Copies of this chain bind each other. A is one copy, B any other.
Amino acid sequence: MLNTLNSLESLVRGRKPGHSLDAPFYTSADVFDADMEAIFYRHWIFVGVEPDVPEPGDVATVDIGKASILLVRDDDEEVRAFFNVCRHRGARLIDEEKTTVGNLVCRYHSWTYGLDGRLVHAPHMGVGFDASCKGLKPVHLRSLEGLLFVCLADEPPEDFDQLAARMAPYIAPHNVRGTKIAYQSDLIEMGNWKLTLENNRECYHCEANHPELTVPLFAYGFGFAPEEMDALDLENAQRYDALRQTSHAEWESMGLPSREIDELDTRVSGFRTERLPLDGDGESHTMDTRAACRVPLGRFSTAKLGGLSFWTQPNSWHHFLGDHIVTFSVLPLDAGRTLVRTKWLVSKDAVEGVDYEVDRLIEVWTATNAQDATLVEMCQQGAMSPAYEPGPYSPNTEMLVEKFIRWYIDRMADHLAK
């Protein structure tokens, strides 16, 4: 009855397809360390957006596991990333989440780095000291139309280029670089990061738990078992599917790619996208389904653009509406705690209190995030029980959870094989 922590290898090999993971994947500190090593220190991790560092000299810090990362806008307008560690005695350079600097100065002994990472001043180190090999350690960074991904590995996965090429046409019209961050929330979920992702990858739980989110979202998009539905249900489901098809055609004719791409478990940098129609007025993720911001993103002539969702493995999802964007970054803290960072972006021309109200903008996802945190915590508590065993995913409503888990298991197996 009791779970024993077998070796990671046998846990990975023994994963039962179509089922949730064995308990140690959610609860073990050793598996967590392996997750950081194999997944978060080696894949492309979504950490923020260009509007986090809008001006030269702007610096943002973000933690991936035990690695604090600096995102820096250099004087040439490029965003660069470095490890937030002084090369002298190893002090953390910048403590604030956001700041603006001329140079990056370690306050311990005044070692001074340029915005490009070069060590430009290190007093009293003597004549033999070679500053040129003591610059800040760089971190690979890619901006996908303003969405910032970093990879801590020396050799990052190469397939991000293909992801970027296929996704750019979907994302570019929403003009991330033309936005500002209207609000950010940091929520610590008391559960393993994979439970956070599993929860995100299905809407089977939405009807019973998300009264706000199910206002703009169509329930028929959550998946269902056809044999459990009556004639009316089936008719509604078919009507929804027809709406999806016509909406795709209409949006694509406007130059907005909308059809599903699903590469969740078919590549190292797994991802998925699709633009979906919304219920009611069909404009936004708000309680009245109308735009939360009067200034549209990009050059949109209508607000009725549905919601473009974009997911990346292992740690992000995003909703691009006509009037705003919501980005989610999942940052594991330990085996049982996960930071979910949510940013709401609006046009940088929009004026708070005039063009949008923050309360209304963030209402649906603030409520939804809090509800999801409770669900994830319930699962973490259950996974700690000696009675827990992997349970079956619904083939009708949890196919994308299965794809996330399959991707994870494949990546771990690949790592262990090295």
Contact = CB atoms under 8 A, between A and B. Distances in A.
Interface of A: 1-2, 20, 37, 41, 65-68, 83-92, 95, 107-110, 123-127, 129, 134, 137, 152-154, 198, 204-205, 208-209, 223-225, 227-228, 375, 378-379, 381-392, 394-397
B68 A394 contact: no
A131 to B, nearest CB: 11
A338 B84 CA distance: 23
Contacts of A379: 89-92, 108
A92 B382 contact: yes
Contact of A384 (B20, B66, B228, B381): B66
Contact of A208 (B109, B205, B224, B388): B109
Nearest to A222: B124
18 contacts: A2-B37, A2-B41, A66-B386, A67-B385, A84-B382, A85-B385, A85-B388, A91-B378, A107-B209, A107-B378, A108-B205, A108-B378, A110-B208, A125-B395, A127-B227, A129-B392, A134-B391, A152-B386
B90 A391 contact: yes
Contacts of A86: 382, 391
A388 B87 CA distance: 8
Nearest to A386: B67
**In the complex, which of the residues A1, A83, A85 has the most CB atoms of chain B within 10 Å of its own CB atom?**
A85
A124 B204 contact: yes
Nearest to A229: B124
A109 B205 contact: yes
A124 B20 contact: no
Contact of A124 (B152, B224, B386): B224
A74 to B, nearest CB: 19
A137 B390 CA distance: 13
A154 B153 CA distance: 47
Contacts of A91: 375, 378-379, 381-382
A221 to B, nearest CB: 13
Contact of A67 (B127, B134, B387): B387
A375 B228 CA distance: 61
A198 B385 contact: no
**In the complex, which of the residues A84, A90, A153, A208 has the most CB atoms of chain B within 10 Å of its own CB atom?**
A90
A122 to B, nearest CB: 9
A108 to B, nearest CB: 5
A153 B387 CA distance: 11
A126 B391 contact: no
Contacts of A391: 86-90, 134
Contacts of A228: 123-124
Contacts of A378: 91-92, 95, 107-108
Contacts of A396: 124-126
A89 B21 CA distance: 9
B392 A108 contact: no
Contacts of A37: 2
Nearest to A390: B90
A110 B209 CA distance: 10
Nearest to A381: B92
B124 A223 contact: yes
Contact of A152 (B1, B389, B395): B1
B1 A154 contact: yes
Given A1-B154, A66-B384, A95-B378, 7 more contacts: A83-B387, A90-B389, A91-B375, A91-B379, A92-B381, A108-B378, A137-B387
B387 A108 contact: no
| Top-4 shortest CB links A-B | A83-B387, A90-B382, A91-B378, A92-B381
A392 B87 CA distance: 8
Nearest to A65: B386
A397 B108 CA distance: 13
A335 to B, nearest CB: 13
